[in-house]
Structure 1
């Protein structure tokens, strides 16, 4: 077993495995096979356990060691080497090599260190001789007991005595068992090899397809989120509030890549996690995404975020361990320069280090790439605006507070307090957007419960979402879209609504839809997110946010800005 495992051989064949000896509960005489099976991830094919051993306790010991045991064939009964019956059942049963291969693959894929035992009954043509041998074994066991033979001397005595009593039939049956086990084991090994080859080809093909189709790159944070939702709209400090807690997977970059992936796109997602249990959970959940750009870093912690929200879904308190995001460095991202320089769109979130954002913006300037900046929060919104990098952005999707931060960083005046009424909100949003539109093609200003304001190039009373390849002086305007009605009862959390809107809007743009369709897709995706425990609703599909299936829309309001 050890040698086969070291050589990378997943299926090992032997005659019979050892076990717990008779009176083993007192003598503790237990074959080393059993402990090795508990720490070596390999499949062992055998004829079971000789009846001179305690088969019941052997099966119990294997269970204790975490070893998966299955009978091979039409019966679930665990064989007793020379006999197909032992009086004990295996926990599992497989009927053919393909089922055995599937059990091996699924068991080993868990990453456990324990093995798998397949017990193969003696062939029918040897079963009659097997009965005679079993009777001889029982006689030999009794004689050994009468003569006071104990310890390591018992097994050699019994085997020699059985050979004498059966006149060599036990040796012939033993050879037949080895042949049968080898036949079954080789069939299982072939089935497993075929399964692995097909999976490898499928993975290679899928990777080739991913490489071909990954014309979008998303770079940003990936988090494990813990959402604690109170049962009241007012949460009291200093005491335990009634509520519920659930785990989900977030991070602004991850959310946008998730939404795009569910909407028929195939973005390359670049990020960093720790090499810990949270990371394994993230990768398992994100199987539908292209995470080949996510690096696992040893001795680092995957980002975690804990949000405490009220019954209506409003954020009361957020705590985050986000240090890992600083490891999404310019040096790491530069490994993907070919994909970046050939992409249709690169989306950045505000969790990235300033130097990484500046690097991507410099590539955008050099290769005429469209870059979308999602500021994440008002503290991080200023990162591209600390240098000339912001002038290379094509899109940004700030809320009003983040838009204030962007303007303040550039030295433009901002209001001392954010307005409350819709008219004032729209006036302030447009005033803050004007100076940024000198270089940024389009701003998607999210207004929470009020909806969204799209500011950009005035195109015949609408907004042009698609950037020109050259800079020209242009007329600018804004389109205001009210939010869709979502009741407080329907709202589960608000953490992913903005990211869902962004992802769906980008997906609509990449499908070359008109602006109304794009924004409506975004608003429908945001509504799904609000009603879901996950930042990006698992029910999000192109069909679920098809604007044609939701005809009763409030028409957007167009406003000239210059």
Structure 2
């Protein structure tokens, strides 16, 4: 490696194809707008934001050796990300995410992360073979982990000694994959970054506030949880106490990637020794700037 990383980002690295329209959209809507293709995936979104905050992330993921994969790896290099440990497959195509957004928010999305799921534990090899860690010297730094991995692999990670010394930061990727994080509740390991809906799925109930959800996640075994609630207050739930802050009021122009931006900004703030209140405020400010279009997508 030509440079050292100070955080690992494990999970989806793919192309985002996003259609955005300024119109309010209902089921079956056919409206004018813009369609873009940009590097994405939860792990990559977090990594790209971490770079903006001065960190040097290394990616652990699966990317095909197809034309889309070669282009994606090139883009990652250009952004200053370390890709030395990315699993490159000749047989698996590069994954893709497709979303449609209107003035009323996210209308629909489909995440095709089948290659990442099929690659499985192969993406983690560097944590066992001595490049990043090994059995008698497990990796002890920051890890941002996303729920696009299979439920079985996430369960293994939640209980694997190879991760016992790491500072694990975990996101579910989407409400549809929130239950994949249940092993981290059972093991009491890691910091969870979830929205109100995802917190409800993990606790098998519905919540009206992030504070209520954060307290419930702690009761279920979470070591720590950050619970967002759109334009409403966000809570950092920790055994030492709950901190709840409102996000800045902004005009929302995009939503895909907002949660990843919040998580990355929070990690970066704590990496730079911000206290819990300051870190939460900085993360909310970064997410607000993102959804308003004031930062790059």
Please give the range of the TM-score, normalised by the shorter of the 2 chains: 0.7 to 0.9
Q: CA deviation at 1:441?
A: 2.6
Match of 1:216 in 2: 7
Q: Which has the higher helix share?
A: 1
Distance 1:241 1:351 in 2: 31
Residue 271 (str. 1) matches residue 61 (str. 2):
yes
* Length, aligned pairs only: 289
Residue aligning to 1:443: 225
Alignment RMSD (CA, Å): 2.4
Report the CA distance shift for 1:233/1:364 in structure 2 as closer, same or farther (over 3 A).
farther
Per the alignment, residue 158 of structure 2 pairs with: 361
1:426 is displaced (CA, Å) by 4.1
**1:383 is aligned to 2:180:** yes
Distance across 2 between alignment mates of 1:345 and 1:427 = 26
Q: What is the SS of the residue equivalent to 1:483?
A: coil
Which of 213, 216, 233 is equivalent to 1:432? 216
Spell out the pairing of 1:47-126 with structure 2 (5 A cutoff). none
Q: For residue 352 of structure 1, what is the aligned residue in structure 2?
A: 149
Q: Does 1:226 align with 2:17?
A: yes
- Structure-2-length-normalised TM-score: 0.88
1:485 maps to which of 243, 249, 271: 249
State how 1:315-464 maps to structure 2 within 5 Å.
315-337=106-128, 338=130, 339-340=132-133, 341-364=138-161, 367-385=164-182, 387=183, 390-408=186-204, 414-415=205-206, 424-426=208-210, 428-436=212-220, 438=221, 440-458=222-240
Evaluate the alpha carbon distance shift between residue 430 and residue 300 of structure 1 in structure 2; reply closer, same or farther with a 3 A threshold: closer
Output the CA distance in 2 between the equivalents of 1:432 and 1:290.
37
Q: CA deviation at 1:504?
A: 0.9
Q: Could you say which structure has the greater relative contact order, defined with CA pairs below 8 angstroms and 6 or more residues apart?
A: 2
Q: Is 1:451–1:480's contact at 8 Å kept on the other side of the alignment?
A: yes
CA deviation string 1:349-380 (max 9, x = no partner): 00012232233323357743221211112221
Distance 1:366 1:322 in 2: 23
| Deviation (angstroms), 1:272 | 0.7
Judge which range, 266-275 or 496-505, deviates more. Answer: 266-275
Instruction: Please name the residue that 2:268 is paired with.
Output: 507
Q: Which has the larger radius of gyration?
A: 1
Distance 1:235 1:280 in 2: 37
Structure 1: segments with no counterpart, 5+ residues: 1-206, 409-413, 419-423, 459-476, 540-562
* 8 Å contact kept, 1:350–1:373: yes
What residue ranges of structure 2 are gaps of 5+ in the alignment?
Answer: none
Task: Report the Cα offset of residue 236 of structure 1.
Answer: 5.4
The alignment's TM-score, normalised by the length of structure 1, stands at: 0.48
Matched, 1:290 2:74: no
Change in CA separation of 1:365 and 1:531 when aligned onto 2, cut-off 3 Å: same
SS in structure 2 at match of 1:380? helix
Deviation at 1:389, TM superposition (A): 7.1
| Structure 1 residue 231, shift from structure 2 partner | 3.0
- C-alpha distance in 2, partners of 1:486/1:356? 38
From 97, 110, 123, the counterpart of 1:305: 97
